[in-house]
Amino acid sequence: MPDKTPANDVPRGNASAFLKYFPHDFVSGLLVFLIALPLCLGISLACGFPPIAGIFTAIIGSFLTTFISNSELTIKGPAAGLIVIAIGCIQDFGGDGMTGGWTETDLAAYKAALAVGVAAAVIQIGFGLFRGGILGEFFPVSVVHGMLAAIGIIIIVKQIPIALGVSAGGDPMEMIQEIPHYVLEANPAIAAIGIFSLLIMFLWPLLAGRVAFLKKVPAPVVVLLVAIPMGIGFDLLHEHSYTLQGHQYQLSEQYLVMMPDKVFGLFNDITFPEFPVLMQPKAWKWVLMFFIIGSLESVLSAKAIDLLDPWKRKTDMNRDLIAIGVGNLCASFVGGLPMISEIVRSKANIDNGARTRFADFWHGVFLLTCVALIPFYLHRIPLAALAAMLIYTGYRLAHPNEFIYVYRIGKEQLAIFVTTLVVVLATDLLIGVAVGILLKMTIHLANGVSLRSLFKPYIEVQEINDNTSLILARESAVFSNWLPFRHQIEQIGLVQQRNLVIDVSGIQLIDHSVMEKLEEVRRDFEQDGLQLDIRGLGTLHPLSSDIHATRKRKLARMQRVAFTTESKCLAQIEDKLTNLGATIFSIVPCSSPASTSLVRMEIVLHPQIRENVLSIVRRDVLTDGHVHAFIDSIEIIQRESTEV
């Protein structure tokens, strides 16, 4: 992580920064290039596109979006999350990528997918111009995680046969059942490359964690350093056969990446879209999927990188969506894949010390130089090695910890997560996401959310003083009415530069998505030097012990904690306890023979958060001998009326 620059010298991607931060951005661009090169090739092949398509996308993204977006640290390029859509589009138009060779049918399907990409890009640009960058705020967190986990599983299933040297196809559920067959039919030489590559992808991060200097060497680079010599050893450039335990196996350059065979040969691979396919209704299904999923992933990635930015610079999501749209428009016109703000390469960009968006630019320069001048060396990369990298990427998307994390937030969140995942695997992304959203709405209605408040927030605004306003929330605060709710928060607080207090004690239910998004908005307020306080959470019953769990208004047995503390510590302790979900019941000054001024505080909390609260009381309160605390149980009877 780079050292923080003084507040008056925050790095910005302007003309002066190009030279000022050149050493940092140039080195980071080089290191990101080493990661991006094999991933761009692997993602292209997994999408059913020619391998050069991913390189086109990364180069165009780095050259164009650098000067359009204000996102300083994101890397634009093809992403594993779009593999499922891209290969689905190719197959729907009759192609199968390079499985069994590149045919006229595959070329026609490829050109049709490019036309779909152009149409999706135009919609992205339009959404950005009309301030649609807030798109990512609508989708429930558990649905998005379920969708990404499903994408991860599909990537793994689709890449296992390639890593083993087996030709295979079909829908994900069929291929999952065929995995034992793929293992039995594996080509041992190709499988050896795939398995060694996969072991490196999983074990290298563990080894790098123990040996500091190895952290600078990305695992994909190590894979190439091992897999390319293995491919040369097996003589994959020449067609031949070998016999092992009585079985004969074939080897040839079909197991290698197909690349241009001459300097600047990449320009011969430029391919143009076939726009007449947009007259077919099925094309617009894929346009919508490219637009929705691509835009959603890009916005979420950009927001995640903003949180990791050491200088806390904030991306204009509308401007970034326009940049992505322009990049996709140009990439699709010349034969490239769709692009997004990619999370893995962006995180590596931060870790490598990048300062401005010119790191993205330099990573594109290195890609262009490599592919234009030495494409024949890239031809020696085994497909099994690229498949192993994608299997690892898929594993990270569908990591078992994702299931554990969602379960801890709440059982209802796990139900939504798993439902979305299964439906995506059984059908497609759009249907899976739609079913996940419908299930979440159904759960909200079952929990007492009224139909009228499902899409409309009921709020009342009051002024506390000259620089602070109060929002009284009623009915519900859920993902489906969050956009207008957020708009009010931003208009009253961030636009008018006022501190804000949001009282949620009068609502029926506040869901997990809104709990997380309120935390994000609180950080936005802090960056602007403002305060956002959330009050009344303690009157709501959390459905799990997680701090962001869904909370519901109902009769509940609560616990009361009372203690005395020094008045000078009161504000700090109060903030910590309310952030955990405790409700301040009373604060009373009390006399003491000691010279220190003391106050007595009572808080009410749900038993599930008791231990977290008590740890703060023990650490920050019970520090002097005359300070004491006690706990007892009380029953909170809440009114059914939602009126003030």
Give the model confidence (pLDDT) of 399-414 as tens digits: 999 999 999 999 999 9
The last residue of a domain, from among 542, 566, 585: 542
Structure tokens at 57: 């996308």
188 and 281 in a single domain? The answer is yes
Q: Which of 510, 542, 574 is the last residue of a domain?
A: 542
- Determine how many CB atoms are found less than 10 A away from the CB of residue 497: 10
Q: Identify the pLDDT of residue 641.
A: 39
Report the domain count for the chain.
Answer: 4
Do 404 and 384 have their domain in common? no
Q: Is 310:103 a contact under the CB 8 Å cutoff?
A: no
Q: Are residues 608 and 514 in the same domain?
A: no
Burial of residue 66 (number of CB atoms within 10 Å: 0-12, 13-18, 19+): buried
What is the residue whose two structure tokens read 């006690």? Answer: 630
CATH number at residue 595: 3.30.70.120
Q: For position 308, what pLDDT does the model report?
A: 87
Query: Phi/psi zone of residue 401: left (φ > 0), alpha (ψ -120 to 50 degrees), beta?
Result: alpha
For residue 579, tell me if it sits in a domain: yes
Count Cβ neighbours within 10 Å for each residue of 40-65 and write b for 16 or more, e otherwise.
bbbbbbbbbbbbbbbbbbbbbbbbbb
Distance between CA atoms of residues 305 and 76, nearest Å: 12
Residue 1 counted as domain residue: no
- Same domain, residue pair 458 and 355: no
Res 593: pLDDT: 59
Q: What are residue 125's DSSP bridge partners? A: none
Whether residues 421 and 564 fall in one domain: no
d(CA 639, CA 82): 48
Contact (CB, 8 A) for 506 and 540? no
Pick from 7, 267, 293, 277: nearest CA to 151 = 293
CA 456-458-460 angle, to 5 degrees, is: 145
Span 17-39, pLDDT tens digits: 899 999 999 999 999 999 999 99
The answer on 334 and 289 residing in a single domain is yes
The pLDDT value given to residue 618: 73
Same domain, 211 and 260: yes
Domain identity same for 570 and 602: yes
Q: What is the CATH number of the domain that holds 530?
A: 3.30.750.24
Percent above pLDDT 90 for the chain: 64
d(CA 113, CA 437): 28
Asked whether residue 428 is domain-assigned, the answer is yes
Is residue 435 very low, low, confident or very high in pLDDT (cuts 50, 70, 90)?
very high
Q: Which regions of 1-104 does DSSP assign to beta strands (E)?
A: 75-77
Burial bucket for residue 248 (CB in 10 Å: 0-12, 13-18, 19+): exposed
> Are residues 430 and 382 both part of a single domain?
no
Range of the domain at 480: 451-542
- Residue 563 or 81, more confident: 81
Residue 387 pLDDT greater than 70, yes or no: yes
Record the pTM.
Answer: 0.82
What average pLDDT does the segment 526-530 reach? 89
- Label residue 356 by pLDDT band (50, 70, 90): very high
Cβ neighbour number for residue 490 with a 10 Å cutoff: 16
Q: Which of 383, 387, 342 is nearest to 58 (CA)?
A: 342
**Is 247 within the bounds of a domain?**
yes
Give the DSSP H or E segment for 139. Answer: none
Cα–Cα distance measured from residue 16 to residue 28, given in angstroms and rounded to the nearest whole number: 18
Rounded Cα distance, 187 and 248, in Å: 9
CA angle 498, 502, 504 (to 5 degrees): 175
In the prediction, which pLDDT does 54 show? 95
**Integer angstrom CA distances of residue 121 from 62, 291, 299, 320, 431:** 16, 7, 15, 13, 22
Contacts of 286 (CB under 8 A, 6+ apart): 85, 88, 89, 92, 113, 116, 120
Looking at 567-597, which runs of residues are DSSP E strands? 583-590
Q: Is the dihedral of CA 399, 87, 221, 55 positive or negative?
A: negative
Non-local (6+) Cβ contacts of 485 within 8 A are: 457, 459, 473, 477, 514
Q: Is 21 part of any domain? A: no
Does residue 236 form part of some domain? Answer: yes
pLDDT given at position 2: 46
User: Rounded CA gap, 236 and 229, in Å?
Assistant: 10
Residue where a domain terminates, one of 509, 542, 575: 542
Q: For residue 640, what pLDDT is reported? A: 41
Is position 550 within any domain? no
CA–CA separation, 379 vs 258, rounded Å?
Answer: 6
Residues 564 and 477 in one domain: no
Buried b (16+ CB within 10 A) or exposed e, 464-479: eeeebbbbbbbbbbbb
What pLDDT shows up at residue 135?
74
Contact between 604 and 538 (Cβ < 8 Å): yes
Residue 18 lies in a domain: no
Task: Answer whether residue 203 shows pLDDT above 90.
Answer: yes
Same domain flag for 483 and 537 = yes
pLDDT tens per residue, range 473-517: 999 999 999 999 999 999 999 999 999 999 998 899 999 999 999
What pLDDT was estimated at residue 632?
Answer: 62
Residues 324 and 424 in one domain: no
